Amino acid sequence: MNSISVKTGRPYEIRIEKGLLTGTGALMKPLFEGRRLAVVSDSRVAPLYLRSLLDSLAAAGFEPPATFTVPEGEESKSLKMASVLYDFLAEHRIRRSDCLIALGGGVVGDLTGFVASTYCRGMCFVQVPTTLLAQIDSSVGGKTAVNLAAGKNMVGTFWQPSLVVCDPDTLNTLPEDIFAAGVAEAIKYGMIRDERLFALLEGGDARGHIDEVISRCVQIKRDIVQHDERDTGERMLLNFGHTLGHGVESDSRYALSHGFSVAIGMNMIVKASAARGITDPSVQARLEAACHRCGLPTSYDGDLERVLSLCRGDKKSEAGGLRAILLRRLGEGYIQPFTFEEFEAFVREGLA
């Protein structure tokens, strides 16, 4: 079993191993013995993996947990759904000393983490991510959030999980587009921090190297989060492709997944950077080719002006501007402040 320690304000372990879902109860037992549990999942994941998780918890001696299933999709990541979950937990007498388990992808993990951080002023939760995107990115680092009509992840908290259990076998049931969405985030890590990881991915066979891909991405995020848990400096590097990507995602009304939108956002910002001579054009060419091999889009047919307008409302924007992530070279990202007007001109001219 690969175990990666995250030394944040509340330290925890990320456990990675094929078949590990059936060992979740045993991993939790030393941490939560005697506490009641509630499991949150979604309508796609629950029929596939909820029974295995429940059997694991029963074998470890836990009481049968309350189970809450949300509809699959981004619309479940909302204040409305959080309110329904609060009422469910209160109805089942879940208390601050109990524990929530998020079984699913990024939507389930973000929603559960947000509720865990606010219900009874904060309770522990465990991430059991079942998508590639969640295993390598959203389950690690303690960011929780729900969406508003004004934009993605506009209401959230920093709240670290107590344990993350990654079973790569759960990726075997992912549709190819959802798996590809996770590869987009893995490509992001390679672009900003690890050229070797990018080279591994650009061949288009992430599944053939899945253990290495998951471990390396988690290690990169762990290192960055330990240096900047509250996202005030170095952690902003993880937003590469996300400012434009969130604009694309919102403008498409979530018809484009987060991972697909990030792929588009990365290509847009690298193309603009190459046009300005900041990034070598060969990096743009390699990124575009890698995305195509991995089944990811590289451009958006929607209205660029609407996307840029949505960027102004991004949660990471500041008074008068934002900080975009650019590349000095492949594997070396950096933070570049822009006024809104400068950023819009940078993107417009670069994509012309």
Q: What is the pLDDT of residues 181-197, one digit of tens each?
A: 999 999 999 999 999 99
Q: How far apart are CA 41 and CA 128, in angstroms?
A: 10
The residue ranges of DSSP E strands in 108-203, in sequence order, are 124-129, 143-148, 151-158, 163-166
Task: Report strand pairing: 12-16 vs 332-339.
Answer: unpaired
Residue 338's pLDDT band (cuts 50, 70, 90): very high
| CB contact set of 9 (below 8 Å; sequence gap of 6+) | 160, 229
What is the predicted pLDDT for the residue at 342?
Answer: 97
Residue 314's pLDDT band (cuts 50, 70, 90): confident
Q: How far apart are CA 47 and CA 50, in angstroms?
A: 6
8 A C-beta contact, residue 323 and residue 216: no
| CB contact set of 256 (below 8 Å; sequence gap of 6+) | 248, 249, 264, 297, 300
Orientation angle between helical segments 176-193 and 281-293, nearest 10 degrees: 160
Q: How far apart are CA 44 and CA 9, in angstroms?
A: 33
Q: How far apart are CA 266 and CA 241, in angstroms?
A: 4
What is the predicted pLDDT for the residue at 151?
Answer: 85
What is the predicted pLDDT for the residue at 352?
Answer: 86
Burial of 113 (0-12, 13-18, 19+ CB in 10 A): buried
Q: How far apart are CA 200 and CA 21, in angstroms?
A: 27
Q: 54-58, 83-87, 235-239, 311-315: which has the minimum mean pLDDT?
A: 311-315
Amino acid (one-letter) located at 9: G
What is the predicted pLDDT for the residue at 216?
Answer: 98
Backbone angles phi, psi at 94, to 5 degrees: -75, 135
Amino acid (one-letter) located at 294: C
What is the predicted pLDDT for the residue at 162?
Answer: 97
Average pLDDT of the chain is 96
Answer whether residue 113 shows pLDDT above 80: yes
| CB contact set of 320 (below 8 Å; sequence gap of 6+) | 339, 340
Q: How far apart are CA 59 and CA 55, in angstroms?
A: 6
pTM score of the predicted model? 0.95
8 A C-beta contact, residue 54 and residue 258: no
Q: E strand or H helix at 333, and its extent?
A: strand 332-339
Q: Give the number of other CB atoms < 10 A from CB of residue 208.
A: 10
| CB contact set of 212 (below 8 Å; sequence gap of 6+) | 200
Q: How far apart are CA 36 and CA 33, in angstroms?
A: 9
Q: What percent of the chain has pLDDT over 70?
A: 100
What is the predicted pLDDT for the residue at 346?
Answer: 98
The mean pLDDT value for 231-256 works out to 95
What is the predicted pLDDT for the residue at 205?
Answer: 95
- Eight-state DSSP code of residue 141: S
Going from the C-alpha of 251 to that of each of 75, 263, 285, 291, 306, the distances in angstroms are 14, 15, 26, 21, 7
Answer whether residue 234 shows pLDDT above 80: yes
List the structure tokens of 196.
Answer: 């070797």
